[in-house]
Structure 1
Amino acid sequence: MTTKTDHPARTAGYASQAAVRARDKAAWLELFAADGIVEDPIGPSVFDPEGKGHRGRDAIAAFWDKSIGATEAIEFLFDDSFACGNEVAFTGTIRSHIGGQVIDAEGVFTYRVDDDDGKILALRAFWEAERAMQTMKPA
């Protein structure tokens, strides 16, 4: 079970997850620093062919449209979280509902925040697309 102790990165992670569950793109974008980056998944993917990540709010907004916005719902089924320094790592599964199907991406999902106002500097997701696609099943 994920612990809920106060920690700026954990707080930002929970806020990010809540905004995604609520389908609130504006609230989600507001959580990021102006030069924040999203790497989900890390490296080249269908969302990021060059594997350089999505840096800045405009690029992060485009990522939302291509990935989060293409789903009907997203669930965060995290087993635990580990906060160190200005970062937190959540472990578990992100379940995406898309086109009448469910896909589970099991992995490690990290958030790094700045020291001043807790804005997300980096959201990085360690999961394997091929492995996730193997979990696809009707919703």
Structure 2
Amino acid sequence: MEEKEHLAVEANKKSIHYAMAGDKAAWLALYTEDAVVRDPVGVSPMDPSGKGHQGKAAIEAFWDTVIGPATLEITPHQRWTSGDYTCCVHQVARNDLGDGKSTECDMLAVYTVDEQGLITAMSAHWDFDDVMAQLSKLA
């Protein structure tokens, strides 16, 4: 008998796949209507309040300004589960900017899902200033 994959791990794998494929509709379908995305966690120009992108419309706007325009390669290195509905993932996101230029970002992402495996919260912990420093060196 085959064991079913952990719901939050499955959600993380799908999220990575759809983000790299540029499949906005499939990626958005992974989230509940009242989900919260914090990427990065804390105050940043992408989230001036530091409270995250709350609700499907805000998450869609996050896609449109951050994920959609990017050419991403996301590599998960290790996943840890916590209970039935949460996993933490050490992953690296590489954004290909063209002309041989790219940025690379180490992150710890935490996915929380509901009983159906839909994402209720995603928090990505990474250093915004480090990515900005990488971009300034490419200019």
Measured against the shorter chain, the TM-score band is 0.7 to 0.9
Partner in structure 2 of residue 9 of structure 1 = 8
Task: Map Cα deviations across residues 96-132 of structure 1 (whole Å, 9 max, x no partner).
Answer: 12354311111201110012x1100011100011122
Partner in structure 2 of residue 106 of structure 1 = 106
> Are positions 1:79 and 2:77 aligned together?
yes
Cα distance in 2, alignment partners of residues 92 and 26 from structure 1: 23
Moved over 4 A (4+): none
Task: Map Cα deviations across residues 39-79 of structure 1 (whole Å, 9 max, x no partner).
Answer: 000111121111110111100000001101221x1111221
* Cα displacement (A) at 1:134: 3.5
State the AA in 1 paired with 2:104.
Answer: D
Report % sequence identity. 36
Normalising by structure 1, we get a TM-score of 0.88
Cα distance in 1, alignment partners of residues 108 and 59 from structure 2: 20
Unaligned runs of 5+ in 1: none
State the AA in 2 paired with 1:11.
Answer: E
Larger radius of gyration: 2
Correspondence list, 1:1-139, <5 A: 6-71=5-70, 73-85=71-83, 86-98=85-97, 100=99, 101-115=101-115, 117-136=116-135
- Count residues in correspondence: 132
Unaligned runs of 5+ in 2: none
Cα distance in 1, alignment partners of residues 95 and 122 from structure 2: 18
Residue aligned with 1:51, SS? coil
Cα distance in 2, alignment partners of residues 47 and 70 from structure 1: 14
State the AA in 2 paired with 1:112.
Answer: T
- Aligned alpha-carbon RMSD (Å): 1.7
* Cα displacement (A) at 1:21: 0.9
Does the CA contact (< 8 Å) of 1:70 and 1:98 recur in 2? no
State the AA in 2 paired with 1:111.
Answer: Y
